[in-house]
């Protein structure tokens, strides 16, 4: 990284803490170059417009974990869905893993079914396709990932993205189709960054404590922040929501599907429509429903 380094004196740190920023973690971590923070200026403007405090926003955008994740985003955004192997979720190994989960978590699954109408097999199918039932929930910093996507509508972001884009397809970066796609994704991600800040307050967690997928989803259920704010549930009634625990993830998935139209006796076409709200991918929806069918 180039440029001057931001360093806060102990006096400044105490000043900021007096204004309540202790909630967002230690200010000892602020050490990011101006060149790196400048790329997030459009996001800064948006967050201030949404009513977040200047000191809070500047702390987040200058945090040592905040960086533009060009390599990760290029890898994710350049992969065509036809290359994704959904078939592996229908293997015998996957089916056995799902059946074992159904038995182990029969209680929470039955209760979630009773209160929402969502069959245990559908809940388990989603958790399997999303994270292999919690085996892999992702290791990427959610705040950094979402903030990076939030500025994809800028030339500087696309310039950095191009460095890691497949060499034989670099012209795609500036194609009309991708420009439209990046603008849409940036608009979405800005809202998710705002939701993550709200979620960190609600759950009393440092906003940089969330880890998950390259897209910005986290937990066994792979909820994005907006979904977590609206539909995450404390399934085990321990006084907190933790989407990395099976029971909370089970109730959260069921609650989400119910909120999006799932009900008893729903036809397959309507079932598919509901699943598509969870992930806008037809192969994904088909795989979830087929896996659920095989688990019955």
Residue 210 falls within a domain, yes or no?
A: no
Which is more confident, 292 or 11?
292
Question: Same domain for 7 and 116?
Answer: no
Domain shared by 28 and 100, yes or no? no
Q: Does any domain span residue 272?
A: yes
Number of domains in the chain: 2
| Distance from C-alpha of 276 to C-alpha of 135, rounded to nearest angstrom | 23
What pLDDT was estimated at residue 63? 96
Distance CA 134, CA 243 (A): 10
Q: Which tens digit of pLDDT belongs to each residue from 227-238?
A: 999 999 999 999
The CA distance from 142 to 63, in Å, is 13
Residue at a domain's end among 35, 67, 99: 67
- Assess whether 259 and 130 both reside in one domain: yes
Answer yes or no: are the C-beta atoms of 277 and 262 closer than 8 Å.
no
The angle at the Cα of 193, spanning 188 to 198, to the nearest 5 degrees, equals: 125
**What ranges in the chain are assigned the alpha helix state H?**
10-18, 34-38, 41-49, 54-61, 70-78, 92-104, 106-116, 120-131, 142-149, 155-164, 176-202, 225-231, 246-259, 268-278, 282-295
107 located within any domain: yes
Same domain, 126 and 223: yes
**129 is a domain residue:** yes
Rounded to the nearest integer, the mean pLDDT of the chain is: 91
Nearest to 120 by CA among 283, 251, 290, 9: 251
Query: Quick one: 225 and 286 in the same domain?
Result: yes
Please, which pLDDT band fits residue 35 given cuts at 50, 70 and 90? Answer: low
Q: What percent of the chain has pLDDT over 90?
A: 83
Q: Does some domain include residue 122?
A: yes
- Residues 271 and 263: beta-carbon distance below 8 Å: no
Using CA atoms, how far apart are residues 254 and 232, in angstroms rounded to an integer?
10
134 and 20 co-located in one domain: no
CA angle centred on 164, ends 162 and 165, rounded to 5°: 60
Which CATH number does the domain housing residue 116 bear?
1.10.530.10
Does 59 share its domain with 91?
no
Residue 1 domain flag? yes
Q: Do 62 and 112 fall within a single domain?
A: no
Question: Is residue 285 domain-resident?
Answer: yes
Burial of 146 (0-12, 13-18, 19+ CB in 10 A): buried
**Is the model more confident about 119 or about 265?**
119
Confidence at 34, pLDDT banded by 50, 70, 90: low
What is the DSSP annotation of 66-92? ----HHHHHHHHHS-GGG--GGGGGSH
DSSP-derived pairing of the beta strands 211-212 and 140-141: antiparallel
- The stretch 267-280 carries a mean pLDDT of 97
Domain co-membership, 124 together with 30: no
Whether 277 and 220 share a structural domain = yes
Q: What is the pLDDT of residue 29?
A: 44
| pLDDT over threshold 60, residue 30 | no
- Asked if 123 and 8 sit in the same domain, the reply is no
- Band of the pLDDT at 205, cuts 50, 70, 90? very high
Could you give the CA distance from residue 32 to residue 85 in angstroms, rounded to a whole number? Answer: 38
pLDDT bracket for residue 16 (50, 70, 90): very low
Domain, as residue range, for 97: 86-138+215-295
Does one domain contain both 123 and 229? yes
| pLDDT score at 22 | 42
Digit-coded pLDDT (tens) for 52-66 = 999 999 999 999 999
* pLDDT tens by residue, 74-122: 999 998 776 678 999 999 999 999 999 999 999 999 999 999 999 999 9
Percent of residues, the chain, with pLDDT higher than 70: 87
- pLDDT, residue 292, reads 98
Does any domain span residue 92? yes
User: How many residues does the structure list for the chain?
Assistant: 296
Q: Are 252 and 231 in contact (CB under 8 A)?
A: yes
Tell me which of 139-148, 172-181, 192-201, 253-262 is least confident: 172-181
């Amino acid at each position: 990284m180039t440029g001057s380094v931001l360093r806060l004196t102990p006096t400044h740190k105490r000043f900021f803490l007096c204004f309540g920023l202790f909630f967002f973690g230690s200010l000892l971590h602020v050490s990011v170059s101006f060149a790196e923070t400048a790329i997030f200026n459009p996001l800064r403007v948006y967050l201030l417009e949404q009513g977040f405090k200047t000191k809070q926003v500047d702390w987040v955008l200058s945090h040592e974990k905040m960086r533009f994740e060009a390599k990760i985003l290029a890898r994710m955004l350049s992969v065509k869905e036809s290359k994704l192997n959904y078939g592996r979720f229908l293997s015998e190994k996957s089916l056995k893993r799902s059946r074992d989960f159904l038995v182990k978590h029969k209680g929470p699954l039955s209760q979630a079914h009773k209160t929402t109408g969502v069959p245990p097999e559908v809940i388990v199918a989603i958790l399997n396709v999303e994270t292999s039932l919690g085996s892999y929930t992702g290791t990427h910093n959610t705040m950094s990932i979402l903030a990076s996507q939030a500025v994809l509508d800028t030339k500087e972001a696309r310039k950095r993205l191009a460095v890691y884009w497949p060499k034989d397809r670099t012209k795609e970066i500036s194609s009309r189709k991708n420009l439209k796609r990046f603008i849409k994704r940036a608009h979405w991600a800005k809202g998710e960054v705002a939701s993550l800040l709200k979620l960190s307050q609600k759950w009393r967690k440092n906003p940089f404590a969330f880890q998950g997928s390259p897209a910005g989803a986290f937990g066994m259920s792979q909820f994005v922040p907006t979904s977590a704010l609206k539909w995450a549930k404390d399934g085990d009634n321990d006084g907190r929501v933790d989407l990395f625990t099976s029971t909370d993830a089970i109730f959260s998935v069921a609650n989400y599907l119910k909120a999006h139209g799932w009900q008893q006796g729903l036809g397959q076409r309507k079932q598919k429509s509901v699943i598509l709200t969870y992930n806008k991918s037809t192969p994904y929806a088909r795989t979830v429903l087929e896996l659920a069918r095989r688990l019955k």
